[in-house]
Structure 1
């Protein structure tokens, strides 16, 4: 990966401005530390030279570390309770999550490691439980709102810390591009293009991670939605983003009571997937329709794309999972976002497909 630097806060921000107990590391596929954020340096007490290129086991004291990495390699995500080793040999109880990072060929090139200090989590939870037994329902709601805001602050902090080095990389790449503009070097141009592609992909990953966290804490803003109009707007927006022009049929769609902006996101991800995976067909055909029962309204996005093996379908809605090795844009998080949103609406999401025969993604909303 070759980042080999600390993930600094940009501008005049000091390390203490972000949550000091949220540690972020990036490790390569050899499991060596490539970069970290300010909070990691503050809490663990190591200097950059003492950490960079060290194996992750240098700071994570966990016998199950190999299993954790193995699980993240297979499913894209893994989490476990661990002990962190500080520079003074003291141990900190913490929980760590590993997210695998894929290259353009869908191969693992490293892991994003997020660490949360468990002691503070326990203190916060303990405080909330105590208040639940001592206060009225109004005070309980205040505490819940407080926890939500803390979680949102953590999500913002994480996004902020990860976005800063990307902006720096983007800036340096632009300088390189300008330097070689008068005397183009094919090798350098190819490398610059590859860097720009990965910066764009990482930025999309950060954005989607932030979206996932916001879905978890967001209160639903329910209203009666004209799904026909919503889907038409989504398709119009997508038509500007893709070179291929699929034949998209929007049948009469039943209206529903749901969160408008989240439903927009659901159809955007499902329709975007359908376009991507049918883009090599002549012509690409997509159909969007709905059916109503006594309990639910079911919405379907059907395509004539490459399809998938239903034996692997359970992995579709897991973060960072991609079941095809073909080179297509995307982060592997779209369907996970769809599932989180539909779960929040107390609905269900699923797929019907066969390899080479397209796919039908469907979700239901209660009547």
Structure 2
């Protein structure tokens, strides 16, 4: 007849709960339940062997170091929704776990074993991420609603100018040439504003209807296409555009287009009227991502207004005479946040602006 201890071990071995015990600093596997074997996709041949020898990929992922630190310090380690690659028949599968490494201490407070418990929460994690993504999409949609509403409101001003001017000129046929020219200049500015608002509205429509499609974006081609389009919009603007290293991005190509078409358009639109205008676009590899810079020598932005320009319907005070909706940088900021990136501005009045865009590395996991 089995002793109580042996009976308990036998019961625990068949348990669907994931349990393992390591009884040396070398992480010798002294006990493992069926539940843990199922999670790790191994059999009982791992008993009596070291954790590092059985799971070299876990050593690479840092779990062995954590276990050894728990043994040395006697401090419990807990983690939730932690990614780990499970290897089965040479195939890696990314799973997510809640787990605990609990040191078992003797009377002197020294570790004599580590109790490892775990639960596979991959399905819950993926469901949570799905809900989180849907919430982000809903928030983004609401933000687009605000931007669209702002554009609709902005449209009233240039339309009012056209209506008032048309009414005035139709009722005052004999006005002087000077007065007529002033009205025609106002008409031209209003029409330009309306075109800008319509273009921004179309951009919002494209963004709203498009799902994020992550793929490798050839930035050399993408940026050159943006430059060609901007030159068609501003044929009278002369600007030297210098391109440096343009590293590819693994992200949503549509969002990249919207970001750069707005920023390059701003650099050209707000270039100085006198002197040689230039724009330098280049990228650098950074920790966990790629950074793009756009440097120009345009009219710049007052230092105390740098954060304000990211707000909807806000423009720098020195751009009042230049047509615009005040939505471009707000839109760019929303788009960068949508793909997990960031945008920062440095600017000096009458000297130019530097835009820094950080694009994070994709979180793809290859099997």
Q: TM-score, normalised by structure 2?
A: 0.50
> TM-score by structure 1 length?
0.50
- Which of the two has higher C-alpha Rg? 2
